[in-house]
Amino acid sequence: MWCESYGQAPAEPNDASKRLVQRWESGDVRTPRPVYLRALEAVTKLSADQLGFESTHLPPSRVTDDGAGGHDMTRDQPSQRPASAPAAAGDDYSGIWLSHYEFFSSSRANTFAGLHHVLLEHHGNRITATSLPGASSNPDSPLTLDLTVDRYVVTGTWTEQTADAGYYRGARYHGAIQLLVDPTGRHMAGKWVGFGKEFDVNTGPWELRLLDRSTADEVLRRYSVAPDSPPSD
**3 state SS of 103:** strand
In a domain, 105, yes or no: yes
194-201 long-range CB contacts below 8 Å, 24 or more apart? 194/158, 196/106, 197/105, 197/106, 197/107, 197/168, 197/171, 198/106
> Does 57 lie in the same domain as 13?
yes
> Does 69 lie in the same domain as 99?
no
- The reported pTM is 0.60
How wide is the angle at C-alpha 107 spanned by C-alphas 131 and 169, nearest 5°?
A: 45
What whole-number distance in Å separates Cα of residue 28 and Cα of residue 90?
8
> Does 209 lie in the same domain as 101?
yes
> Does 211 lie in the same domain as 121?
yes
pLDDT at 162: 84
What whole-number distance in Å separates Cα of residue 132 and Cα of residue 84?
32
* CATH code assigned at 101: 2.40.160
> Does 120 lie in the same domain as 208?
yes
> Does 54 lie in the same domain as 107?
no
In a domain, 84, yes or no: no
pLDDT at 230: 58
pLDDT at 34: 73
pLDDT at 180: 97
Q: Enumerate residue ranges in the chain where pLDDT < 70.
A: 1-16, 24, 27-28, 30, 45, 50, 54-90, 166-167, 197, 229-233
> Does 215 lie in the same domain as 156?
yes
pLDDT at 25: 72
In a domain, 15, yes or no: yes
Closest CA to 97 of 10, 189, 5: 189
> Does 208 lie in the same domain as 144?
yes
Closest CA to 97 of 178, 187, 230, 216: 187
> Does 186 lie in the same domain as 103?
yes
In a domain, 229, yes or no: no
> Does 218 lie in the same domain as 174?
yes
CA-to-CA dists, residue 45 to 32, 42, 67, 202, angstroms: 17, 5, 30, 53
In a domain, 193, yes or no: yes
| CA 31 to centroid of chain Cα atoms | 20
Question: Contact, 216 vs 191, CB < 8 A?
Answer: no
> Does 140 lie in the same domain as 45?
no
In a domain, 20, yes or no: yes
Residue 205 is part of which domain span?
95-222
What whole-number distance in Å separates Cα of residue 179 and Cα of residue 225?
25
Number of domains in the chain: 2
> Does 103 lie in the same domain as 64?
no
DSSP state string for 109-144? TEEEEEEEEEEEEEETTEEEEEEEEEEESSTT--EE
| DSSP E strand stretches across the chain | 63-65, 71-73, 95-105, 110-123, 126-136, 143-150, 153-161, 172-181, 187-195, 201-212
**3 state SS of 170:** coil
In a domain, 47, yes or no: yes
Pairing, β 63-65 against β 143-150: unpaired
In a domain, 153, yes or no: yes
